[in-house]
Structure 1
């Protein structure tokens, strides 16, 4: 990649430029945001078919009137046991929660908007990263997509280098991210890369969901210290955290304690112990404040007793309403706010995308090819195709026209194998990409159309190389017509059908979005196509014969026959003159050696139709920008 080569070969220039680029972005982005939320309530309806059998099931309230305010230069930590509503509230504050959400959430006195989205970073609990990209590649690709066009490519690359240095990732900058079965950077480094992706835009407001989950105390300390440095620069940070150490706890400016969707405390972190002591809940021994707060949130009193847990929770909820709620609402109403550059009033004139469609397409194309080439050209897949092609070539060795039934069997097997293979390769594409697509689309990184086209175009060479190799091997071994024209016709038909089968796989994967279910459905559909393809069953009952009109296999088989034979060709037979017309051969006559244009047209409709269905199905993934 050209941009990465610049970043890697000219380290001195880039390092110097990275500081300048970082400073430029820092100066061009107003980083002060006051976040206010008042009486936030979120309800969900229980799913049907569960334990609730009543037709009128009650709604479950996840958030029960949460109020708070976070000023620029403050870091809010939301604590609570699992199921307390921390992540739900964080998602709501980040503008990523739909459904029955009521209450008021404002950013500098304005509702969530496009300009706010482009100044907001959101780090999910799970690190959604491409495993085969290096740290530098990951951040550079993100910078090229997320930073606006008033920065040059070198400035964007320089800023990525600055973030790498700021997060202490210099030693692993050229290491791949890795995954469950691929060794890469450590868990802490992976988390810092996720944070770095959001820091690239110098966000005014940064949300983090469990940023220290699964990390050792030293790594967690380093990450929170880095976030504390961002807060000192004037940013507003909100995070959920389960059970921080005492060192981490006292780094938070404000703390929100939740229990079953109820607020138990909101205020300064260094005042939380005094507050609970004042209402009769003081720890009996010296302990980590977060451990003490989690005990209270689960209903365990200060003496460690587990009796009357609901009573403890209700007492704490009542104490919050009496001692904190009114004062907090007054503070929320009285506190002013800062404005982002341009303000919410100019949101209509604000650019909806940081980069053009062509820029998004080119960057996504390079990133997609770099990531997926490892999977498309894995040793296992190449070996699989080579072994099958050699086996087929040996089984049909020099099978000339005197063995016509064997030859048409070879052609049908070719259509069958290259119907299933690209289908199952494509069917897993979108289910595997779903989390990444949802994450990046929610951040307003790119248009869905640019992503879809980049993915489609990027897969073309990778999807067409292996069938080309397959046909090149078997064509001459099996003794098919040894002319360049016939070979090219056969190759065209094969590659054409591969693209159609791939489109069907993409559509099924995008619709179902579950790998096993999509694979099962795809297998049944393709099997029905093969059975009605005109080779196995020649007299299909009328009530099910309609399947052959939508069968990829039937149209492919017909075109493959046409690439090898003409109706006037002859083959040895038991007739009086010893020869018969190929067009009269029973298996070929049923399919026919005419009307090829109709088959080409039908496959063309499928080629476009399946991809259109896939695109429409993908619209529900992530957040569609208005």
Structure 2
């Protein structure tokens, strides 16, 4: 136990520290609705410094996650207003690469190991100027920090809930966030012991110099004491407290006590804040308290604004630290494609059901087609059968598409939810890696189908004819996989995909040159089918 603690402490000393201060001023967020614009955040002010852990609290629907997504620049709809600055300067293109974002859901490639997931993040998210060996050495430090050394080669799908949460945090740490770490309800779904373990771990990161902003829902009194500051929200995205927690919640208790609302002895401070905001309170003169207005008119709020002003003035005078690059992605496109393709091949190796399905389809349809039209001759009937046996290759695409589409869409969902917002790799790298990873399986399936179909049917054995059909068969198998990927890439949802695929299959059957020869097609169809 002592050795493990010593190893973790040593790893903490090597973790990249935050050196810059993030401030936000008058941040509002509005989204369009059928009833008109709806404001979800209302003029929110705050800041987070290195070594400080801020808890975003509030009742359900108060805007905790909305604020977290807004501050981390992850909102994709609506209008965001206000100033979000780093050291008094506007956010650069590298902001999302300089921060880590831990999702509430633990989204990973489930067939990867802990080490592989961390190395993937480190290689693609750390600066391209850092040598590969140094990135991999940093992964070892993160593994020790997470206390996952004993299970570093375990497959992610086999991990427990707490281990997955530690891995999710570790994936962000492996990227060396130089600014701060965002976390969306990291204790959600955990038992009390695991939740305390995770928050204590975050507290250690803060002590090592990390800045952390974290949403948390109904924390225990032990958990809330681990945070340095609280930003409390009411429904509508209104702040009613932003300040220090204090020892045993003393700062929070004092703020509300000064306004006539006392916290009962032994009461959980977090519960007290939320209950007070809901129930409200009354002044000495009997008037009902509006906690949103109380905060806006308070001395504490004025001090926050003054502190933000001071930070902006002082930090903007200091020369900005050198930034490795202003590229949207840390790694070049070729490196993104290489690492992502490797991950996809490993996924197929560890979960071969997808490849087995494609090979099984090629074997079964090849055998049935080849032996149904055994040794065709040269009669008129045999010539018709030759056309028909060639036509039957269209039986394969529906089966292959049923496998390709869910796989591509699942990978795209992971990219959209976590890996693109974190700027790990881009759309070009994703599509290229998907296409490359399909090539070996498609080629092997094409060879198997050709052998089992072509030779039993007695089609010409001479090299030019057989070679041409062999080439077309391979191209067909490559085409059907990439065709399915193309459909999935441009469709906005899986429901749309399910609706348009039958249309494409019908078009594919009608205009493949067998049902109606190309020479007999209407000029209109010739033009559009050729596109």
TM range (shorter): 0.7 to 0.9
1:362 equivalent in structure 2:
338
- What's the CA shift string for 1:360-416, capped at 9, x where partnerless? 2222221122124435645444434433333333322333343222221110111x1
Match of 1:371 in 2: 347
Name the CA distance, whole Å, in 1 between partners of 2:344 and 2:315: 38
The answer to whether the 8 A contact 1:431-1:513 is kept is no
Counterpart pick for 2:256 among 269, 273, 276:
276
Structure 1 residue 284 displacement after superposition: 5.3
Q: Give runs of aligned pairs for residues 98-497 of structure 1, distance below 5 A.
A: 98=76, 99-178=78-157, 184-203=158-177, 204-260=179-235, 261-269=237-245, 270=249, 271-283=251-263, 286-297=266-277, 299-300=278-279, 315-323=290-298, 324-335=300-311, 344=320, 350=326, 353-373=329-349, 374=351, 377-402=354-379, 403-414=382-393, 416-438=394-416, 439-497=418-476
Q: Structure 1 residues 494 and 20 mapped into 2: Cα distance closer, same or farther (>3 Å)?
A: farther
Per the alignment, in what secondary structure is the counterpart of residue 171 of structure 1?
A: helix
TM-fit CA distance, 1:107: 1.3
User: 3-state DSSP class of the match of 2:90?
Assistant: coil
Corresponding residue of 1:563: none
Do the aligned residues in 1 keep the contact of 2:126 with 2:330 (CA within 8 Å)?
A: yes
1:35 lines up with 2:22 in the alignment: yes
Unmatched 5+ residue regions in structure 2?
1-6
Counterpart Cα distance in 2 of 1:104 and 1:421:
52
C-alpha spacing 1:478/1:22, structure 2 compared with 1 (3 Å): farther
Cα deviation 1:511-569 (Å, max 9, x = unaligned): 22322321220221221231343444679998x87446555xxxxxxxxxxxxxxxxxx
C-alpha distance in structure 2 between counterparts of 1:372 and 1:343, whole Å: 49
How do 1:499-518 and structure 2 match up within 5 A? 499-518=478-497
**What SS class does the counterpart of residue 293 from structure 2 fall into?**
helix
Instruction: Please list the CA deviations of residues 115-174 of structure 1 after superposition, one character each: whole Å capped at 9, or x if unmatched.
Output: 433321111222221011111111112111122344332222221121111111122211
For 2:343 and 2:493, how far apart are their aligned partners in 1?
Answer: 24
Q: Is the 8 A contact 2:102 2:172 kept in 1?
A: yes
Distance of 2:306 and 2:196 partners within structure 1? 34
Higher relative contact order (CA 8 A, sep 6+): 2
- Three-state SS of the structure 2 residue aligned to 1:117 is coil
Give the drift of 1:84.
1.2
Aligned length: 508
Q: TM-score, normalised by structure 2?
A: 0.86
> Which segments of 5 or more consecutive residues in structure 1 lack a partner in the other structure?
1-16, 47-51, 179-183, 304-310, 552-601, 607-626
Cα 1:527–1:338 shift into 2, 3 Å: farther
Matched, 1:95 2:73: yes
Offset from partner CA, 1:28-54 (integer Å, 9 cap, x none)? x562221211111110111xxxxx5xx
Distance 1:166 1:214, change over 3 A: same
Structure-2 residue corresponding to 1:77 = 55
Match of 1:66 among 32, 44, 56: 44
Displacement after TM superposition at 1:224 (Å)? 1.1
Greater alpha carbon shift after TM alignment, 487-496 vs 354-363: 354-363
CA distances 1:467-522 after superposition (whole Å, capped 9, x unpaired) = 32122212223332234543332121122233333333223212223223212202
Change (3 A) 1:491 1:81: farther
Residues 473 and 524 (structure 1 numbering): CA distance in 2 closer, same or farther, change over 3 Å? same
Provide closer, same or farther for how the CA distance between residues 22 and 151 of structure 1 changes in structure 2, counting only shifts above 3 A. farther
**8 A contact 2:126–2:176 mirrored in 1:** no
Asked whether the equivalents of residues 135 and 193 of structure 1 are also in contact (C-alpha less than 8 Å), the reply is yes
Within 2, Cα distance between the matches of 1:194 and 1:89? Answer: 21
TM-score normalised over the length of structure 1: 0.74
Query: How far apart, in 2, do the equivalents of 1:538 and 1:461 lie?
Result: 32
8 A contact 2:224–2:270 mirrored in 1: yes
Contact 1:123–1:198 (CA<8 Å) still a contact in 2?
A: yes
User: Contact 1:41 / 1:62 at 8 angstroms: preserved in 2?
Assistant: yes
